[in-house]
Amino acid sequence: MEASFHSDDLFPFTATRPLAEIRIGILTLREKWQMLFPELTSQEINEGPFGLPVNVLPTRVLAEKIREREDWRQTAFFLEHPWDIFRLNAIALADDFALLTRGRVSQPLPSFVQAFSPENIFIEEGARLFPCILNASQGPIYIGKQTEIMEGCLIRGAFAACEGAVVKMGTKIYGATTVGPYSVVGGEVKNSILFGYSNKGHDGYLGDAVIGEWCNLGAGTSNSNLKNNAGEVMVWDQRSGKLLSAGVKCGLLMGDYSRCAINTSFNTGTVVGVCCNIFGEGLTPKFIPSFSWGHRGSSKYELEKSLRDIANWKRLKNQQLTDVEIRNLHAIFEKS
């Protein structure tokens, strides 16, 4: 397992970032390592600190085993496939919650918020909450800095809204869900992760899914996460070029900078590459390659047009397309 890991095993998310920059729980893998072992350098983390596999999930228990020089293998979790990101999200959320809140006091819960198990709820400074229901009886709830939880939201932990995230009116969220920095969610969400700067701002269902950075799901978009026959969900594997079993439940796995039109219906276990513009009738194919224009892959998203569009989306969140991003996108375009 350890020796055979390859970055393509976590495609499409490692197409645009080092593995250490993957967000699971509240923090990225890099941020977890840096909190557990502040002395680690970025290079050590990227190569696998202390000789550990790069795809191991950093946890407090793992860190204790390392410090005590004990066998860590029986307590370790590994990210072997992209669907492991949502499968391990409940574990990562609970661990990050304990790591981030240890020895700290939460901002007070507003009196108009109905809370269950409030001892498992932590609110950072600058967060704005309106009348909503927070149920932390099944897992912790973390409300990050400068977040906004609008009125009428129903949130069941484990859940994290990272810095600057917005949960829109009437949103229904089931654990284990992470809304990454400056992302927006609405509708119904269950056991899903949005890495950052992405939008699922309207009605529609997102379940057992991972959405990269700078993605946008059009109004009414939904994904299937369970086949009608409740059978195994087969998911595209970039490394082998084959379909692999992801178990009984798997929704949408969408790479960075990809977007879809209103009312898009994603098939069970769909993998979307980097920088796709998805539209068309009916269920999507199981695999949509990077830089696809339309979900059937009949044409390619022109590079200069795609860069222009990404820059437009980034301006909406007061960000700019960087030279590093442009070089990476050129390389991905040439390979697609």
Domain spans of the chain, in order of start: 7-84, 213-336
Q: At 134, which amino acid appears?
A: L
pLDDT for the residue numbered 169: 98
pLDDT band at 336 (very low <50, low <70, confident <90, very high): confident
For residues 5-27, average pLDDT = 94
Quote the mean pLDDT of the chain: 96
Q: Does the pLDDT of residue 229 top 50, yes or no?
A: yes
How confident is the model at residue 7, as a pLDDT?
81
Which tokens go with 94?
């609970």
Confidence of residue 133 (pLDDT cuts 50, 70, 90): very high
0.75 exceeded by the pTM? yes
**Structure tokens given for 176:** 């284990």
pLDDT at 4: 64
Q: What is the CATH code for 213-336?
A: 2.160.10.10
CB contact burial 136-164 (16+ within 10 A = b; e otherwise): bebbbbbbbbbbbbbeebebbbbbbbbbb
Structure-block tokens of residue 333: 């375009």
Tokens of 69: 């020089």
